[in-house]
Chains A and B, each alone.
Chain A
Amino acid sequence: MTTRFFGAPIKRNEDKKLLTGQALFIDDVELPGMLHAAFLRSQVAHARVRHIDVAKARKHPGVVAVYTADDLGAYWQPGPVLVPPPPIAGVVVNPRTQVPLVKEKVRHVGEPLAIVIAESRYIAEDALDEIEIDFDVLPAVVDLEKGLGTSSAHVHDDLASNVAAHVHQTKGDYRSAAAKADLVLKRRFRYEHGISSPIETRGVVAQWNARASQMTVWDTTQAPVFVRNGLAAMLGLGERQVRVIAPFVGGGFGPKIMMFYPEEVCLPWISMRLNRPVKWIEDRLEHFFATTHERGQIHDAEIALDRQGRILGIKDVFLHDTGAYNPYGLTVPINSQCTLLGPYVVPAYDSTFTAVFTNLPIVTPYRGAGRQHGVFVIERLLDLAARELNIDPAEIRRRNLIPPDAFPFKNEIIYQDFQPLEYDSGNYEPVLDKALEIIGYDQFIKRDQPKLRAEGRCVGVGIACYVEGTGIGPYEGAKVQVQTNGKVSVATGIGTQGQGHFTSFAQIVADQLGVDVTEVDIVTGDTDQFYWGAGTFASRGAVVAGNAVNEASRVVRQKALKLASDAFECAEDDLVIADGKVSIVGIPQKFIRLGELAQRANPMRGAVKPGTEPGLESTQYFGPPSGATANGVHAVILEIDPLTFELKILKYVVVHDCGTVINPMILAGQIHGGVAQGIGNAFYEKLSFDDQGQLLNASLADYLLPTALEVPRMELDHTTTPSPLNPLGIKGAGEAGAIPVGPLFAQAIENALDLAQKKIELLEIPLSPSRLFELTRKADHP
């Protein structure tokens, strides 16, 4: 097989539609007779509902129906637990899942209480004002620690406390490791993530076709197959009666995989009852409450080291905010727990977390999915230890890196895929070396920084390492089919939200079948096109679906060669497949086009031979035994204005290793975007809640997403350590850019402002100019 396309920066197949305004996004779905939904959402975080009066709203001109929880009857059910409790001894999990509409108790601001269905969204929103609600407001649980106190209100009345889960995992014996240590250092860390805030919000369009007994749902989901299966069960339909289409989706980043959102549950049911299509598009204000967040953890962590800075053990006890419900199980805190170990040899680890219910929106994975929190803790602990032991921050990292001959490296504890955490492959030191070289670490510290300091400028350097467990199971599949016009059609069950699947998968197929990338049409996210699958999450699309695409096209290639060898009465070895045709080696004029072979594979006369099947096509599946571990190092030089604390990034470097690369251009784009979100997380984006659970900055004017002025040019480089866990050697890369930015900023800002001199430590993210002002002022005026 030639690799003309695999590994090349091929421009994207999907761009033209997107650039000309022809791509179908959810709000572009227009159907005859379509109705529009608006949701009445709670304005308080915690309250007991006495009565909802919708009589006036029902009479509003243009309103077709109004529903509350009672109207849903037996259809009203709490959502499913998406991820069951992991197989960890002693694990405590109290699953409490979200409901379609509030029945008795509101548990977070924005939770839906009623739905108005009207001839237009404008009318539906008018009628929301005519619904009257009578409720008793309760004290809200907002603070994690207070939430565990005996006097706290309870988010779920049937639980004895606000504990959502409790997990203890160990590796080795931390206590004896600490007893031998030259230095034990303990700190409290706070890490808040934020909202993914894709530029396209969520949306659902449901269309019941009574004549065909068929439900079609367009949904901005990252997991259309799961949504199809769940909806069929809820609606009492067979799976074949439900088609879920995830069209072009305007960014996902995790929260669009959460299910089932109340709107996903309610709209299909309403469409069946009214026998009309219904559309709901989330507005930006709703997005701040109705789409899931990823928020805060508080870690009490300690590290034990020897004099040379080698890690002997780490102990961590942390609290995790899970919000009002926990449908996604323990994925986020387990990612934090596991990813904390980083690329380092940590012989002893003792980690306990408690997930806490709060009266805040639900927490589910958002790009990084808890990994940031763990990486922040280990990276900051190493920085502080380096300072105590008088070792350079880069050097202390180097001394602890897992050596290349130690792979597969067993970390023993259970990961989010329920497998023991094991790094499949890696070669970490060259990545660190490259990052230090490109950022000019030594020169900056020895030459540039003293000069800049002398000029009164506050410029600092930071370096942070991370690993990322990617490409987890269970599996994905793909159907590759050569059509009689010679074009190749590929269908897979995952959804796409900008990752370039229409191109990267086409590259894999194009090499196997000897066609041009533009001759390959990819369909993603339509359950009628491909029936099975899991979804786009955990940096797994390229790894899992990519390998399924590869296997299916390999089988099609074999079929094409077999058909051609029959036609030419020659050996398959004498054939070459290229330029959309199969020809005899050395006789290029003797060829059959792939389209013609597809035609021959479906003859009008003659029987299908036993053991063969019609069509030039194949469906194959791939399921990795466990996740492939990618790794990387980010480095930054940044300047802080000592008066305003405005931050300017002077140089940003990412060196990473995600195994074999399909398309370096798409990969670079994924890294750029991840870093941009990481920068937002580290310094600009903060969800500010008051003590009653009200979000105080629920607009894009107040919740600050980074713009082109905040995100710098980045220099990227990579090393390649292929994963042994899949034939293509791929590791995922979708989240890598976002993961280590918090500790990188904390380290570089401390360095820029020389905060060690003032005995100030930055132990929290997000930071901001005002937060830096507060922290330094507190030190100046204690």
Chain B
Amino acid sequence: MQPDRHDIELEVNGTTYRRGVESRTLLSDFLRHELLLAGTHVGCEHGVCGACTILVDGAPVRSCLMLAVQANGHALSTVEGLAADSGELHPIQKAMHDHHGLQCGYCTPGILMTMTAFLKENPAPSEDEVREALSGNLCRCTGYQNIVDAMMAAAQAMRATP
């Protein structure tokens, strides 16, 4: 069987890409191995761990559960686009650094993207709300506490400088 191919055009972190892809290519594989945006990590390929979370038109999506062809015509954001062009970290990235919110760092990109969308929707969350929002992202190293602290601090920093 010869897999069918499709031409797609999509935007990632503000850059437009045109590629031909097999219909079965996962969006996570497309980002990582075709566009070489390897900051998006793959942990389970069944939508549970959240490591591969990216934003599609601003909404968090597990890129292992979406096909590349489904991203045709959409605007995507990945971890590579979070920091400013100057290299200055996004407040969420900075808070993770300040609060030791990462150890091996493998789940981190997914957490950053999930929380970017969450804090936009809920700029002044309670700790319980942060934990609830974080509960779809598995981390095996940190025990979550420092990530929660980082998100509370990031929310405050972002409220201070909108």
| Residues in A lying within 8 Å of B, measured CB to CB | 11-12, 14-23, 25, 27-28, 30, 122, 196-201, 248-251, 253, 283-284, 497-500, 665-666, 668-669, 671-677, 699-701, 705, 707-709, 711, 713-714, 737
Contact = CB atoms under 8 A, between A and B. Distances in A.
A27 B45 CA distance: 14
Contacts of B25: 122
Instruction: Point out which of A15, A23, A201, A708 has the most chain B C-beta atoms below 10 A from its C-beta.
Output: A708
Given A498-B104, A713-B145, A199 B43 contact: yes
Range class of the B interface residue count: 35 or more
Interface string B137-154: 111111111111000000
A696 B39 CA distance: 32
Given A283-B45, A700-B49, A16 B145 contact: no
Interface string B37-78: 111111111101101000000000000000000000000001
B147 to A, nearest CB: 7
Contact of A709 (B43, B131, B146): B131
B104 A251 contact: yes
A705 to B, nearest CB: 5
Nearest to A367: B140
Contacts of A673: 103, 140-143
Contacts of B148: 708, 713
A63 to B, nearest CB: 14
A15 B106 contact: no
A713 B143 CA distance: 9
A202 B120 CA distance: 35
A705 B83 CA distance: 30
B34 to A, nearest CB: 11
B32 interface: yes
A296 B134 CA distance: 31
A709 B142 CA distance: 13
B109 A21 contact: yes
A669 B109 CA distance: 19
B79 A705 contact: no
B158 interface: no
Contact of B100 (A12, A253, A676): A12
Given A200-B43, A700-B48, A672 B146 contact: yes
B143 A676 contact: yes
A122 B104 CA distance: 28
Given A248-B106, A251-B104, A499-B103, 5 more contacts: A21-B79, A27-B38, A676-B143, A700-B46, A713-B145
A677 B140 contact: yes
B160 interface: no
25 contacts: A12-B100, A16-B89, A18-B105, A19-B97, A21-B40, A25-B41, A196-B140, A199-B138, A200-B106, A201-B43, A250-B105, A250-B106, A251-B141, A284-B43, A498-B141, A668-B146, A669-B100, A673-B142, A676-B140, A676-B144, A700-B44, A705-B138, A708-B144, A709-B132, A714-B143
A250 B105 CA distance: 7
A21 B38 contact: yes
Contacts of A705: 138, 140
Nearest to A675: B143
A651 to B, nearest CB: 13
Contacts of A198: 104, 106, 140
B79 to A, nearest CB: 4
A700 B47 CA distance: 9
Contacts of B82: 20
Instruction: Point out which of B102, B109, B141 has the most chain A C-beta atoms below 10 A from its C-beta.
Output: B141
The 6 closest A-B pairs by CB, nearest first: A21-B39, A250-B106, A498-B104, A18-B105, A672-B143, A498-B103
A253 B106 CA distance: 14
B44 to A, nearest CB: 4
A701 B108 CA distance: 20
Contacts of B97: 11-12, 15-16, 19
Given A122-B22, A122-B24, A669 B104 contact: no
A200 B104 contact: yes
A30 B33 contact: yes
A714 B144 CA distance: 10
Contacts of B104: 198-200, 248-251, 497-498
Contacts of B32: 27-28
Contacts of B43: 199-201, 284
B107 interface: yes
B40 A11 contact: no
Nearest to B92: A19
Contact of B131 (A17, A708, A714): A708
Contacts of B96: 15, 19
Contacts of A251: 103-104, 106, 140-141
A494 to B, nearest CB: 15
A161 to B, nearest CB: 37
A3 to B, nearest CB: 21
B135 interface: yes
Given A20-B39, A30-B36, A11 B100 contact: yes
Contact of A197 (B140, B145, B146): B140
B78 A669 contact: no
Instruction: Point out which of A21, A28, A250, A500 has the most chain B C-beta atoms below 10 A from its C-beta.
Output: A21
A666 to B, nearest CB: 7
B80 interface: yes
B131 A21 contact: no
A199 B107 contact: yes
A711 B143 contact: yes
A321 B110 CA distance: 36
Contacts of B7: none
A676 B102 CA distance: 14
Contacts of A15: 96-97, 102, 105
Contacts of B40: 21
Nearest to B24: A122
Contacts of A498: 102-105, 141
B112 interface: yes
A196 B98 CA distance: 27
Contact of B46 (A200, A668, A699, A711): A699
Contacts of B100: 11-12, 665-666, 668-669
B116 interface: no
A258 to B, nearest CB: 17
Contacts of A16: 89, 97
A25 B134 contact: no
Contacts of B106: 25, 198-200, 248, 250-251
A671 B142 CA distance: 8
A136 B53 CA distance: 43
Contact of A701 (B48, B135, B146): B48
A199 B89 contact: no
Nearest to A34: B33
A21 B80 contact: yes
A22 B39 contact: yes
A499 B146 CA distance: 15
A14 B112 CA distance: 17
